Structure 1
C-alpha cells in the first residue's frame, strides 16, 4: 500500500547526494519520512576479483549511515529510515518505490541516468516505476543559491499533452506549485504539419491560421477545474507550436521543477520513454518529475 514516504537511491556519488538533498527538502515540505535505499550486489568486470559479501555489505551500511548523518546535520527534525537491499539496483528501487509516494534518483543528464554503481540502470527503473520519479543532477539551478532553495522560489513547469491529458500528471504539478507557493507555467506544444489539414487527436482539430487560438482555448478549458481547485496558484498558460521537448527544456531554464507524463509501458515493451521525455530528462537544467499514467 502506498504511503507518504519519499524514497531515494544512494550510492555515494555526487548525483545521489544531490538527489538525497532534494528528496530531504521535499520530505520536509510534505511532512513525510525519507527512506534512503542502497543495493549492495555489485557487478564485477571479467577477470576482476570480486569483494566478499561481507565487504560489500559493510561498505553499503557505512554509506547509508554517512548519508543519514549528513542529512540529519542539515535538519535534525527530518525523519529518516534506511534500507539495505540485497539484489540488483533496479529491483531494489522498484521495490522501494512500490509503497512510496515518490522515488528520487540522481541523474547525469547528458549521457543517461546514473543507477547506483552499476551503470545506467536508472532508465530501466524510470520506465518500469509505478510511482512518480524525480531526477536530480548535482549543481542544478537553485541548489546552491542561498536565496532560492531547490524546493522553492522557482516556477514549476508542466508539460501537457491535450490529446492525452491525465489528472495524475496535472495534479502532481499543481500540488508541487502549491507546496512551494510558486507560480505554475503550463506548456502545451504541438508540431505544425507541412500542409494544413485535419489531424488525428481531438475531434474537430484543424491545423491552420486559427489553430493557435483554438489550442489556447482548449488549454484554458482543460485547466479550468484545476484553477478552481487551486485558486491561490498563479498559472501561466502557453499553447505554442514547435517541438515539445525543445520548448519544455527551454521553459526549464527558469524553473525549479519540470513535470512531464509517461505512458505506463505494458510488460515486455522495453524501456522506451518517448522523444519528449527523453529530451527533457537529458537536457533540462532543473529536476524533472516523470509521472506515469495509463
Structure 2
C-alpha cells in the first residue's frame, strides 16, 4: 500500500520549490519597481500557472482513459485544429479582420473549435464503437495529419508579412498574454477542476482498467465521455491562451508518476501541478535573465519534453 506520508512529503517539497521559484521570478532584477512586477510579471505568473495546471491535469486524465502513459491529448489533433483555425482565418480574412484583432472573439472561437472537434470525434466513436479507445486515437492522429497538411498548404499561399504575424500565434508565448483572457480562462477551468476532484475516486477505479471498473459498477463509456469533455476544455483553454505546448503536460504527468508513486489521482494531479509550475518558472527565468529573450519558452519546453519523451520510449523498448 502506498505510503501517503512519503507522497505528502514530496508534494510539500514540490510546492515549496514552486513558491521559491515564484518568489525569485517576481523579485529578481526588480530594483524595487513593484508596479512593474505586479502588472507584467504577475500576469505572466498567473498564465504560467493556468497552463501548467491545465496541461498536467488533462494529460494525467488522458493517460487513465487510454491506459497508456506515452500518449498525450495532442494525439487526437487538438493543437493542429488550433493552428489550422488561426491559419485559415488569416488566409481568408487577413490580419486586420475583427476575428483576429479581437482577443475575446479569437479566444472563444479557438476554444470552441478545438472542443467541438474533439467531442465530435469522441461522440461518434462513443455511439458507433463504444470502448474502442485506440481506434479513436488512431482516427484523431490521421485527422491531425490531414489538418497539418492543409495548414502547410495554406501557409505557402499566405503573404510573407502576414505569415510573420501568424507565427507569433503558433508558438507558445507567455510574454503577450492578454490579462482580460486570464480571468475568462479561470472562469472556464475552475468548474472543470472542481468536477474532476469531486470524481477523483471514480477516476482511481478507472485506473484499474475497463473490465475491472465495469465490474465495480461504473458506466465506463459514459464516464469516459465526461472525462473527455473535461480534457478537451482544459487543453482548449490552455492552447487558446498561450499557444500549443505539446510536451509540457507529458513531462509533468510522467515526472509526477515517478516522484509520488501513488494511484490516487488527486495526489498525482496536485503534485504534478507544483512540479510543472516549477519547471515552467525556471524556464521563464532562464529566458528573461540568461538568454535575454533571444529564444522562447516554448522551445525550451518542447526540447526538454521531447527529450524526455524519447527517453521514456527507449526505456519502454528496453523493458520489453
Q: Tell me the TM-score normalized by structure 2.
A: 0.21
Q: Whose helix fraction is larger, Structure 1's or Structure 2's?
A: 2
Q: Whose strand fraction is larger, Structure 1's or Structure 2's?
A: 1
